[in-house]
Chain A
């Protein structure tokens, strides 16, 4: 299904069992601030605090410490076709590993915006939380550097969009045109910058 799967490189991580389970994303939103990332629209995910109390504590703690270090890697967990995972290895202030998994069809736009903004906010919360209610809750801003994944993502997203349009009844080049048009329009929205 994906070209990139044919030449993927497998990697194994030495992590605790609970860290290998993707964190449940409750809601997502985006924030643009004048003084951050040139005012770009930075996506925010609200994650389930009950699943990973250590991450909730880590985010709280981070408010009282200087900025930390994180290594990130885009990839796919074994046996999860149609999903893309962001592996986050926090080094400072605490050593914690986390996996955020996105459904390409439903959350492809979110992944696309993370790549374009080069950053992501993570805020622990609970079921039913929305940014409108939790804007003052602690959150961390993670820099997502360009790891060379963008060209691969472009192909994955385009293929998924084309497949989606085909399922809705469009054929061949019409599906491709519609997918590209949709992507352009989506990215226009994502280009909004606070000045």
Chain B
């Protein structure tokens, strides 16, 4: 009888500790779910580069990227600006960066079959994805005998958020 009297509070304590642990786990999971839901309400565009090319002309270089952009969030979004950020070292040894806008009309200069350039601004509904081609023209006059270092594609969405990605190694398009 005495043992039972001693055991009852111990059992009660163990049960309450177990119950507290279960509640804490449940609360943690609820918090994680709420945070996940909240993060889906934050605008975010995820770009993916299918292909990247460039074509060298006498005084200019046209860069072409086939990109898909997905919007996995619960918020509608749009691409407002599509730019190429070019890093170069000028003839006077100044490290510089400049952004050039996407120009859909450059497709005429390429003569590479049927490609569909982005027509900005382009909307991307929630849980939707779009695909298109981005075209940029870097002229020799811009670089002025400077050395081209690297480039990044920048998307600016309708919420003013920037998404940058490195297009990696590009293939050259040549007329044969």
Contacts and interface: CB of A to CB of B under 8 A. Distances in A.
A95 interface: yes
B101 interface: yes
Interface in B57-110: 83, 90, 92, 94, 96-101
A60 B98 contact: no
Interface of B: 83, 90, 92, 94, 96-101, 139, 141-142, 144
Contacts, number: 32
A93 B92 contact: no
B96 A94 contact: yes
15 contacts: A54-B94, A54-B96, A56-B92, A57-B90, A57-B94, A58-B96, A60-B144, A61-B142, A61-B144, A64-B142, A65-B98, A65-B100, A93-B99, A94-B97, A95-B97
A178 B73 CA distance: 64
Contacts of A66: 101
Contacts of A57: 90, 92, 94, 96
A137 interface: no
A155 interface: no
Interface string A133-162: 000000000000000000000000000000
Contacts of B101: 66
A156 B142 CA distance: 42
Mostly helix, strand, loop or mixed at chain B's interface? strand
A57 B97 CA distance: 10
B94 A61 contact: no
A53 B142 contact: no
Interface in A42-58: 53-54, 56-58
A94 B100 CA distance: 9
Nearest to B140: A64
A191 interface: no
Contacts of A56: 92
B39 to A, nearest CB: 26
A75 to B, nearest CB: 23
Contacts of A64: 139, 141-142
Contact of A92 (B99, B139, B141, B142): B99
Given A57-B90, A57-B92, A65 B142 contact: yes
Interface string A86-114: 00000011110000000000000000000
Given A60-B144, A93-B98, A94-B98, 13 more contacts: A53-B92, A53-B94, A56-B92, A57-B94, A58-B96, A61-B96, A61-B98, A65-B98, A65-B142, A66-B101, A92-B99, A93-B100, A94-B99
A61 B97 CA distance: 10
A59 B170 CA distance: 29
A194 to B, nearest CB: 30
A53 B144 CA distance: 14
Interface in A28-77: 53-54, 56-58, 60-61, 64-66
A61 B88 CA distance: 12
